[in-house]
């Protein structure tokens, strides 16, 4: 059991050294940690928190603004989709018209070939 205790103590000391070296390498992190500590301890802090109601109202306005933008984007896309549907309908109508025209041409050619074949047989 003593070897496990010694290993855990060694691991703790290694972690402490790593944290200290990181703090010395990243002075911003250590200053942030100090700021957090000062803020959590500090009744002497200069920072005055805004009232919760004011923060909630501002968040509510921002959310409504974002939802409004999102709704506008969705309506624009819906309008584009509707125009694509109309364009596809137009293309389909044109394709059906061409198909009918080609069918008529084929029937006309069949009739001509029949007349030519009958003429050649006589």
Is the domain of 21 the same as that of 72? no
pLDDT value at position 47? 61
Is the domain of 92 the same as that of 119? yes
pLDDT value at position 10? 63
Q: How many helices (H) and strands (E) does the chain have?
A: 3, 0
Count how many domains the chain has: 2
Q: Which domain holds residue 104?
A: 52-122
pLDDT value at position 37? 46
Taking only the tens place, the pLDDT of each residue in 32-87 is 444 444 444 444 556 667 788 889 999 999 999 999 999 999 999 999 999 999 99
Is the domain of 66 the same as that of 27? no
Inter-residue contact 39 to 45 (CB < 8 Å)? yes
Is the domain of 110 the same as that of 66? yes
Is the domain of 39 the same as that of 64? no
Q: How many C-beta neighbours within 10 Å does residue 21 have?
A: 10
Quickly state the pLDDT bin for 89 (edges 50, 70, 90).
very high
Is the domain of 36 the same as that of 74? no
Q: Has residue 26 got a pLDDT over 60?
A: no
CA terminus-to-terminus distance, the chain: 118
Is the domain of 57 the same as that of 99? yes
Rounded CA-CA distance 45/35 in Å is: 10
Is the domain of 84 the same as that of 67? yes
Quickly state the pLDDT bin for 15 (edges 50, 70, 90).
low
Is the domain of 114 the same as that of 66? yes
pLDDT value at position 122? 80
């Amino acid at each position: 059991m003593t070897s496990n205790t010694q290993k855990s103590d060694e691991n703790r000391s290694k972690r402490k050294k790593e944290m200290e070296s990181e703090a010395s390498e990243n002075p911003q992190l250590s200053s942030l940690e100090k700021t957090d500590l000062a803020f959590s301890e500090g009744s002497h802090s200069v920072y005055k928190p805004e009232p919760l109601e004011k923060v909630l109202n501002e968040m509510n306005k921002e959310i409504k603004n974002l939802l409004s933008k999102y709704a506008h984007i969705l309506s624009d896309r819906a309008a584009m989709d509707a125009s694509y549907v109309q364009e596809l309908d137009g293309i389909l109508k044109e394709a059906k018209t061409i198909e009918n025209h080609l069918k008529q041409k084929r029937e006309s050619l069949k009739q001509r070939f029949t007349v030519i074949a009958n003429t050649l047989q006589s």
